[in-house]
Amino acid sequence: MKIDFNNVDLSNLNSYKEKSLDAFSSLINKDGEGNDFLGWIDRPNNLDMEEYERIKKASKKIQNNSDCLVTIGIGGSYLGTKAVDYAMKGYFPKNDKTELIYAGHQISGEYLHELLDYLKEKEFSINVISKSGTTTEPAIAFRFVKELLEEKYGKEEAKERIFVTTDRQKGALKDLANKEGYETFVVPDDIGGRFSVISAVGLLPLCVAGIDIDKFVAGFKKGIENYTVDSFEENKAIQYAAIRNMLNEDGKDLEVLVNYEPKLKYVSEWWKQLFAESEGKDGKGIFPISVNNTTDLHSVGQMIQEGKRNLFETVLKVESANKDLTIMEDEENLDGLNYLAGKKMSFVNEKAMEGTIIAHVKGNVPNILLTIDDVSAESLGELFYFFEIVVGVSGYMLGVNPFNQPGVEEYKSQMFKLLGKPGY
């Protein structure tokens, strides 16, 4: 993975060096706020190998008896999985692998109704992911999908198709799993949801989807090698965190993550949760948004080019396309594309990216270019770890606790009052 800061004015960066190194030290030494949720830092090197092997065994069982796995969870309990699954499975996947279907990430009755209709014709299993088992969105979905599963297979076989990822010892979902005999996996106590894709939260469904989780973990380990180095000059994650804070103090309080490969759409969604939930506190934070180019150049591209100058971009580039096409010459040339004859689509896409960067930089939009080798499990693992280190350092530099999310509870309280939940 490479990162290029050439399109950012770095003349003032040195003044952020000490602060960024102090923040990095607090993160790595686990002596800052939220330090009880830093298990993700060294988790790739300290996996519970007994559970890891059970993940692989359970995955084979699901693959053998199920057309699809309904993955029930919200926020960090599904976004990391969705990001890797969507990036890896192809745009028009063949039906030769177990399909991951997502539920419990919103409260749409129409979505759930259509999902239940779809599942009636499928062989399926469930992986419900919730630390407590009482989070509203996944709890509602689990109630409906479990009922259908038990109607379809009977309670005895259904329990062999339900896999629970929850607290190690306590909670409503853990109690239910113990009572019914469901196989359980652990949501670690020391890893917050938005960092949890490296645990059973992400590894079980990804393994079911046919993704090589050994390579995914290897990517995280590569991230440890590259981004836990205590050196401002050698560690690009520290530099990036420092640059983000420098730009923020210069009035750039909105960051746009840009991709030119639609497979990365949900990587952007995972990234948005990671940074928004980590930094958005105490009236602070850099607001994260994302665009999918070149599609969005024909919509919000106008705003980025000439709108309010309070933003900067991080462009996510893929070095090597897994598949490509060459544009051929057409005798009539009615579309005027013959000047592109002999060129690959990846080349045209890259020039669109480079041209857009030039245009946006001319429009006073600082630009950071982050290049991954390819869209693979290993590259995505390294990318995820890079962003996790960045958000920890950046959050501490902002002066917030990057590892809690107190504001998330307010909407729940107001919703429960309106619904008449006892105690509210």
CATH number of the domain that residue 109 is part of: 3.40.50.10490
pLDDT for res 410: 85
Res. 424 pLDDT band, cuts 50 70 90 = confident
Instruction: Output the average pLDDT for the chain.
Output: 96
**Percentage of the chain modeled with pLDDT above 70:** 100
Domain holding 161, by residue range, is 43-211
Res. 400 pLDDT band, cuts 50 70 90 = very high
Please state the pTM of the whole predicted model: 0.96
Contact 366, 253 (CB under 8 A): no
Q: Are residue 200 and residue 108 in the same domain, yes or no?
A: yes
Contact 246, 17 (CB under 8 A): no
Contact 131, 121 (CB under 8 A): no
Quick one: which of 318, 195, 300 has its CA closest to 254? 300
Q: Are residue 206 and residue 252 in the same domain, yes or no?
A: no
What average pLDDT does this structure show over 209-224?
Answer: 98
Domain stops at, among 211, 246, 280: 211
pLDDT for res 78: 94
Query: Catalytic pick from 2, 60, 120, 412?
Result: 412
Q: List own/partner pairs for 46-52 with CB under 8 A and 24 or more apart.
A: 47/217, 48/186, 51/185, 51/186, 51/200, 52/203
**Is residue 182 over pLDDT 90?**
yes
Phi–psi pair at 288, nearest 5 degrees? -95, 130
- Say how many domains are in the chain: 2
What average pLDDT does this structure show over 190-195?
Answer: 96
94-130 confidence digits (pLDDT tens) = 877 899 999 999 999 999 999 999 999 999 999 999 9
Q: Is residue 411 part of a domain?
A: no
**Is residue 387 over pLDDT 90?**
yes
122-163 confidence digits (pLDDT tens) = 999 999 999 988 899 999 999 999 999 999 999 999 999 999
Domain stops at, among 181, 211, 241: 211
The beta strand positions in 219-347, using DSSP E, are 254-259, 287-292, 311-318
Is 221 in the active site? Answer: no
The alpha carbon torsion through 89, 94, 98, 103 (nearest 10 deg) reads 70
Residue with tokens 């969604």, as numbered in its chain = 269
Q: Is residue 377 part of a domain?
A: yes
Q: Are residue 279 and residue 354 in the same domain, yes or no?
A: yes
Q: Is residue 422 part of a domain?
A: no
pLDDT for res 121: 93
- Give the pairing of strands 367-372 and 287-292: unpaired
What average pLDDT does this structure show over 288-310?
Answer: 97
**Is residue 313 over pLDDT 90?**
yes
pLDDT for res 423: 86
The one-letter code for the residue type at 334 is: L
Report the C-alpha gap between 85 and 203 in whole angstroms: 11
Is 277 in the active site? Answer: yes
**Is residue 412 over pLDDT 90?**
no
Query: Catalytic pick from 277, 313, 378, 388?
Result: 277
Q: Are residue 340 and residue 230 in the same domain, yes or no?
A: yes
Whole-Å CA distances, 416 to 136, 137, 344, 408, 413: 10, 13, 54, 13, 5
Q: Are residue 292 and residue 205 in the same domain, yes or no?
A: no
Q: Are residue 160 and residue 262 in the same domain, yes or no?
A: no
Q: Which burial class, exposed, middle or buried, applies to 98 when counting CB atoms under 10 A from its CB (0-12, 13-18, 19+)?
A: buried
Q: Are residue 24 and residue 51 in the same domain, yes or no?
A: no
62-106 confidence digits (pLDDT tens) = 999 999 999 999 999 999 999 999 999 989 988 778 999 999 999
H or E stretch including 129? Answer: strand 124-129
Q: Are residue 24 and residue 137 in the same domain, yes or no?
A: no
Domain stops at, among 211, 233, 261: 211
Report the C-alpha gap between 384 and 270 in whole angstroms: 9
